[in-house]
Amino acid sequence: MYLRRCYRNKDSQRRAYWALVESYRTARGPRQRVVAWLGVMDERGRLGMKCCAAPATTSQRHLLEETEPCWVEVDVTRVHVERSRKFGGPWLGLELLRRLGLDRFLQETLPEGREQIPWPLMVTVLVLGRLCDASSELHLAEQFYESSALADLLGVPAEKVNEDRLYRALEALLPHKPALEKHRKQKWGELFALDYDLLLYDVTSTYFEGPAEQNPQAQRGYSRDHRPDCKQVNIALVVSRWGMPLGYEIFAGHRNDATTLEEMVEHIEGLYGRASRIWVMDRGMAGEDNVKFLREGGRRYLVGMAKNSLRKLERELLAEDWRPVHEVLEVRLTPAPGGEEVFLLCRSAQRRAKEQAMHQRFEKRIEEGLRKIQASCQNKKPKPVTVAARVGRLWERNRRAAALFEVQVDADASGFARLRWSQREAWRQWARLSEGCYVLRSNVTDWSPEDLWRAYIQLTEAEAAFRIHKSDLAIRPVWHQKQHRVQAHILVCFLAYVLWKTLAASCRQAGLGDEPRQVFQTLSEIALVDVVLPTRSGTVIRKRCISQPTEHQRILLQRLGLKLPTALETAAM
């Protein structure tokens, strides 16, 4: 049943009356009949009648939604907007989180206790805060949460979100890392039908601010962030050919990259199995022990080799039967002794130009430095030890061309330093031959040279993952000092990156490319505002409204299969 508005002319005026109408089915189709004439009714009477006449089923419930709007007189001179909040980014992140089923996973997995705010909600705050405005937990609690629409989306008041509660949410999340990895693997398989045949492995580091004395993994080592003065941890990451993160592990900051391979391989194989996997890694992992480990385990691999390995393939470099892959790259496949492996020689014109420019620059610096030292030997008469130290420092700053020069420092008849130097033309000839060249090693013998090279180039996806972690998700510097908090911080960054790559995969499916940064920034411009409407009766109506998307935003939402909510709850005071 539903209400129908009827009109009658009375006293030369058109007046509205209301009738309660029932819809029923007959052999000739649906029909309607008047159950009762209700006469003139105000808004309160119509709402009461609607509640009484509401059907038991929901099939006709939408018929009662067509009611007369409530009209009030508004003072337009006092209409204004309050509390503009960031809505698009948090809402999009929440939609991605729900698409992956992480909301249900967190509700089912995180333990319930005496906490006032459930841990699943606080973990959601952490992940969405890291995705939308990466910063510390203190910044999230005191600034971003209140300036965003997270409180409206999650129903958690701003005064309930504090630094201490966020820290305890980190501790509640960390024990469930293995279960999270398995859940993510399953959902990505359902959504995107990912292919895990290519496993791209790389290692990076992230440094600490502070002594980190309570974290045994915080050690000084080779810093990719150019912060050797700070302690750090190493993060080993495996991604697919499309850059989808498959798993990660944390190692001590002074750990050599090559020593992490066995642990990481066993971890990933525990999640995805061993069959039909090809491990791809750069020359930092390609030690003989690692290659032996992969080969003895029946695993397939494709690894870069050190630059000095080109010396053993000098004859192959001189050959002329190179195959062009594209206009600036040539490759040549060479069987290794024994026939179980192949070497892939690669020669890049762009890389050659870059290395030539570097060699010329360092050669010029060394020549200028040697002339200065030689002039000082004639003017100041230094001791040989002093001159040798200056030459050593010059070599340290210009290593790439140091082997070109042969330098001799000795003493003259008076005991003062004498400097003599010359150039090794053999080194120059080898440099010209090997510039722009590198070599790959693999036991995948059934692939073409082009396929092997393209698989190795996919390592840029792992490098891109580290760049996003360090720039967009601000994984560095780490301010936490305790080991479990550091591990939980990295896990939250990893989950935010999972949402990032989920958006990238959704964009790729929708024909929007696979770079989500611009899409995310565009949709983040959508705002949530409180529209304040002062009425003539003195009541102030506050309506929370979502800004209307632009044409560009509307197209993006449509292509991604997303629909903005029309409005959030309305409050009056």
Cα Rg of the chain, angstroms: 34
Counting beta carbons within 10 angstroms of the beta carbon of residue 277, is it exposed (0 to 12), middle (13 to 18) or buried (19 or more)? middle
3-state secondary structure of 408: strand
User: What tokens appear for 29 in the block?
Assistant: 């189709």
Tokens 């580091």 belong to which residue? Answer: 205
**H or E element at residue 81:** strand 80-86
Separation between Cα atoms, residue 109 and residue 458, nearest integer Å: 35
Tell me phi and psi for residue 81, to 5 degrees.
-115, 140
- Predicted confidence at residue 48, as pLDDT, reads 60
Low-confidence ranges of the chain (pLDDT < 70): 26-29, 31, 42-70, 567-573
Tell me phi and psi for residue 114, to 5 degrees.
-100, 10
- Predicted confidence at residue 17, as pLDDT, reads 78
- Predicted confidence at residue 42, as pLDDT, reads 67
Which residues are 567's β-sheet partners? 545
Nearest to 498 by CA among 33, 75, 130: 130
Counting beta carbons within 10 angstroms of the beta carbon of residue 48, is it exposed (0 to 12), middle (13 to 18) or buried (19 or more)? exposed
- Predicted confidence at residue 336, as pLDDT, reads 87
Separation between Cα atoms, residue 276 and residue 68, nearest integer Å: 65
Separation between Cα atoms, residue 85 and residue 89, nearest integer Å: 11
**H or E element at residue 333:** strand 329-335
3-state secondary structure of 255: coil
- Alpha helices (H) along 380-448: 384-397, 425-434
